[in-house]
């Protein structure tokens, strides 16, 4: 049996008996350790082909997406009981029923649930997802859609056995920030920090990105002053609160679904600016967007008439569009060169 000394704050033992070994990793490093422990117990013919590449891959993006972005609790279940393995083979058509990957999310997180289902369908169409606990069973054939089959009942476990565990600050601090190593080794080109915790100070020593800077689904809240991004800036689905006045981006900027509430006066975007579902209510004067400006489903209430948009302007489903009440938007915004969607 495992001991507390083997934990090292990387994962938690949920159950360890003759029927199951259930572990809950808190970090990507913990996930790798759990997989190593499982591999030692599994027979060679029980190891799924995706075992290493999916759950303990060299890249931490998958784990960080599940744990930090979707705010989920991950459960790795090693089935030891031959009887339960046989039940899984018969009930669910599993050829390798010794390992099950489980995932729970906070209550009422409907949107996250949909994102998870979409993500899993993109990763592997043979992953089965239950409609309530978002449990996946790998290797199910033929592939099945989300149904109400209770995997926990087949396993002989109570539904409340798998609980959502809130993220504690100490758990996040125990995680080795992949972003620090990524930035320290940055030699130019694209910098991808998607779906991971990002130490806000780590970008201070990386003032110029010669390609795209990708931060979507990360924990970034602010960007350093005088940051230069030669390519595109992708910061959607982050808690980003503002764009620095002195930031320079050569390509498009996507800050959809962020906490940005204002833009710098005289802000210039060289290509498209995407701000879907943003919290911004008013645009400053002298904003210039060379490409399309998308504010659909945002909280925008006011845009000054001097705004320049070289492409199209989309303000559909916003307080601003509802306030127009039949007015001609092209008369209000004469410097929008293409279509205005209101």
Q: Tell me the three state secondary structure of residue 146.
A: coil
pLDDT confidence bin for 147, thresholds 50/70/90: very low
Among 66-70, 101-105, 144-148, the least confident range? 144-148
Partner residues linked to 269 by β-bridges: 289
**Calpha distance 302→323 (Å, rounded):** 10
Among 12-26, 150-164, 285-299, 305-319, the least confident range? 150-164
Contact 29, 64 (CB under 8 A): no
Instruction: Please say if the pLDDT value at position 263 is more than 90.
Output: yes
More confidently predicted of 24 and 255: 255
| pLDDT (mean) for 265-289 | 95
What are the two backbone dihedrals, phi and then psi, of residue 331, each rounded to the nearest 5 degrees?
-75, -30
Q: What is the pLDDT of residue 158?
A: 54
Instruction: Please say if the pLDDT value at position 248 is more than 90.
Output: yes
Predicted TM-score (pTM) of the model is: 0.65
What are the two backbone dihedrals, phi and then psi, of residue 305, each rounded to the nearest 5 degrees?
-70, -15
Instruction: Please say if the pLDDT value at position 181 is more than 50.
Output: yes
């Amino acid at each position: 049996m495992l001991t507390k000394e083997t934990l090292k704050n990387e994962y938690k033992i949920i159950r360890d008996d003759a029927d199951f070994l259930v572990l809950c990793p808190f970090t990507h490093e913990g996930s790798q350790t759990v997989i190593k422990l499982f591999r030692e117990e599994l027979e060679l013919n029980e190891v799924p082909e995706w075992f290493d590449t999916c759950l303990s891959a060299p890249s931490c993006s998958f784990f960080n997406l599940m744990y930090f972005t979707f705010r989920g609790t991950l459960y790795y279940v090693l089935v030891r009981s031959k009887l339960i393995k046989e039940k899984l083979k018969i009930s669910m058509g599993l050829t390798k029923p010794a390992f099950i990957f489980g995932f729970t999310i906070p209550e009422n997180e409907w949107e996250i649930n949909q994102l998870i289902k979409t993500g899993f369908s993109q990763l592997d169409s043979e992953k089965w997802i239950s409609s309530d606990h978002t449990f996946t069973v790998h290797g199910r054939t033929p592939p099945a859609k989300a149904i109400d089959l209770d995997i926990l009942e087949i396993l002989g476990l109570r539904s409340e056995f798998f609980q959502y565990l809130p993220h504690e600050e100490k758990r996040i601090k125990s995680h080795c920030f992949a972003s620090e190593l990524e930035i320290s080794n940055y030699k130019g080109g694209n910098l991808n920090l998607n779906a991971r915790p990002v130490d806000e100070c780590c970008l201070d020593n990386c003032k110029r990105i010669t390609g795209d800077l990708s931060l979507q689904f990360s924990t970034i809240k602010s960007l350093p002053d005088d940051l230069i991004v030669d390519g595109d800036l992708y910061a959607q689905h982050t808690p980003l609160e503002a764009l620095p006045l002195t930031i320079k981006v050569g390509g498009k900027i996507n800050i959809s679904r962020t906490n940005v509430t204002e833009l710098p006066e005289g802000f210039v975007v060289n290509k498209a600016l995407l701000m879907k579902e943003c919290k911004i209510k008013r645009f400053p004067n002298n904003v210039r967007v060379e490409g399309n400006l998308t504010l659909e489903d945002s909280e925008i209430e006011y845009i000054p008439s001097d705004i320049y948009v070289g492409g199209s302007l989309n303000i559909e489903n916003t307080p601003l569009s509802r306030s127009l009440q039949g007015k001609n938007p092209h008369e209000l915004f004469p410097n929008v060169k293409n279509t205005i969607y209101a």
